Structure 1
Amino acid sequence: MTSDSVQQDMFTVLHGQPAPVVTRWTYTATDPFAVTLAVRTRHDRWVEWLVGRDLVLEGLSRPTGDGDIRMSPQLVQGYDIVEIEIRSTDGRAVLEVDRDLLRHFVDSTAEMVAFGEESGRMDLDGMIERISQSCAE
């Protein structure tokens, strides 16, 4: 990763499954409002979801989300976790990730771009130019 991004792999429990799965959380300052949550599948493929960084922050302290991704802090058998529910037309999955590890990741993103300062980091002119160029092709 570069100095304008942070990545952290975490073991995650897929609800009801005995073996943990690996999730990869990535944040890039060039896309300051979003976090990429990737889940490694059995065949070493990664399935990715783009999640609002503010949703991840809120999920550390209270239930949040009303769309395809919902997060909620939980205490499960003595473990302090964040439960992440992912919904799609194919079904739903519930992941459980250690809350301290997720908090560490969120803190790392805030060191790069403070919460509330995201819009100042966006290059809107550059985005418009890239979109315009891709439409012209």
Structure 2
Amino acid sequence: MFSEIEHRVTLVLADRSPGGVPVPAVLAYRRQDPFAIRLTFPGICGPDGPDLGDLTWLLSRELLEAGLTAPVGEGDVRVVPTTSTAIRLHLRSGAAEAVLEAPRPSVEHFLRACGTCVPPGEESTVYDWDHAWTDVLGRERS
């Protein structure tokens, strides 16, 4: 059984360019954090060119799965199915927003692999609740 899954995917930034702008990304899943999907954009460059490092968004696994069949999400992350071959990710941070198209078959393949790691609905049985509570309570004391 896998404890970590990474899947490289090319998203398309839906802007005014014909066909959009390809954006490489990595979808990642970790058994020890079974509710979350990490969407990482490696090696983001700043406006003057320096490498700012990776940019990572945390998405709900349940949100991404539900977004394959119906529009879901409020606030900073929304997922909308658009066609049989694509889904749209709306990511917002402050005043900035990006709309990215993801290849639906690739996302479905990734989510199936996540399901072999931790079956849907069984996330709470593998999550380390004791560690999470210790972490939360430790932060409150600081």
* Displacement of 1:85: 0.3
Whole-Å Cα distance in 1 between the matches of residues 92 and 113 of structure 2? 27
Question: 1:125 aligned to 2:93?
Answer: no
2:39 corresponding residue in structure 1 = 37
2:8 corresponding residue in structure 1 = 9
Whole-Å Cα distance in 2 between the matches of residues 135 and 85 of structure 1? 32
1:65 to 49, 62, 73: 73
1:28 to 16, 27, 30: 30
Q: Deviations over 1:46-75 (max 9, x none)?
A: 211111100000111111111210011113
**SS of the counterpart of 2:25?**
strand
TM-score, length of structure 2 as denominator length: 0.83
* Displacement of 1:131: 4.8
RMSD: 2.1
* Displacement of 1:122: 1.0
- How many matched pairs? 133
Task: Identify unmatched segments of 5+ residues in structure 1.
Answer: none
| Consecutive aligned runs of 4 or more in structure 1 exceeding 6 Å deviation | 134-137
State how 1:66-81 maps to structure 2 within 5 Å: 66-75=74-83, 80-81=85-86
Task: Identify unmatched segments of 5+ residues in structure 2.
Answer: 46-50
Whole-Å Cα distance in 1 between the matches of residues 76 and 141 of structure 2? 33
1:48 to 56, 61, 70: 56
TM-score, length of structure 1 as denominator length: 0.86
Whole-Å Cα distance in 1 between the matches of residues 85 and 109 of structure 2? 14
